[in-house]
Structure 1
Amino acid sequence: MVVNAAEFKASISGATPAPGLHAPLAALWWAAKGGWDEAHKIVQDEETTDAAWVHAYLHRVEGDLGNAGYWYRRAGKPVAADSLESEWEQIVFALIASDGKVAD
């Protein structure tokens, strides 16, 4: 089970995300692996603000800044202006910190 950001990052070398990983983090895992479609499938029907934040990030990765802006508003977050790598890390750390764990 992944329990902190360092372990989450290390898990990206694996073939699949850790079992029980929350949807927004599972999507970020796939995004880090270059699996944009898989990541998008995971968050597109989730109704949480965390999923909306990841959804915004994914559309920013895609280059669809208009759609990203919509999802940032749904997440209650400002549109990111830093690098994609920096935003990915910021989201990972925030999701882990807010939940206290990343998997059940």
Structure 2
Amino acid sequence: MDIDEFRATLQDVAPPANLGMALLALWWDRQGDWERAHECAQANESDPASAWVHAYLHRKEGDLSNAAYWYRRAGQPVATGKLDAEWESITETLLAG
């Protein structure tokens, strides 16, 4: 699946069945369900991809110290750009495998 195909699924009422938890979190985030997205990101806290999404979600929430912790766990630099650009970057990276 590429980013355009992923975006197309956002029109559906349910996420695609084959998404990993990190991508599932990003899908729920775009649906406006931060809590569900957060639950998905927390499901596998040892996974760097989930930690990265977890960081993004806490940054979006405004909890920057918690976000910084999760960026470190993910091995990613602390993001400072626009949230939409970060969502795109994470999604594209995870879809590329």
TM superposition score normalised by structure 2: 0.96
Determine helix, strand or coil for the equivalent of 2:11: coil
Q: What amino acid maps onto 2:13 in structure 1?
A: A
Q: Bigger relative contact order, structure 1 or 2, given CA contacts below 8 A and separation 6+?
A: 1
Query: What is the CA deviation profile of residues 8-63 of structure 1, one whole-angstrom value per residue up to 9, with x for unaligned ones?
Result: 01111111110021110000000011110000011113120000000000001110
Q: Which runs of 5+ in 2 are unaligned?
A: none
The answer on 1:12 being equivalent to 2:19 is no
Q: Which runs of 5+ in 1 are unaligned?
A: 100-104
Aligned length: 96
Distance in 2 (CA, whole Å) between partners of 1:36 and 1:92 is: 16
Aligned pair partner of 1:32 in 30, 33, 37: 30
Superposed CA RMSD in Å reads: 0.7
Aligned ranges for residues 15-94 of structure 1 at < 5 Å? 15-46=13-44, 47-94=46-93
Q: What amino acid maps onto 2:3 in structure 1?
A: A
1:102 maps to: none
TM superposition score normalised by structure 1: 0.90
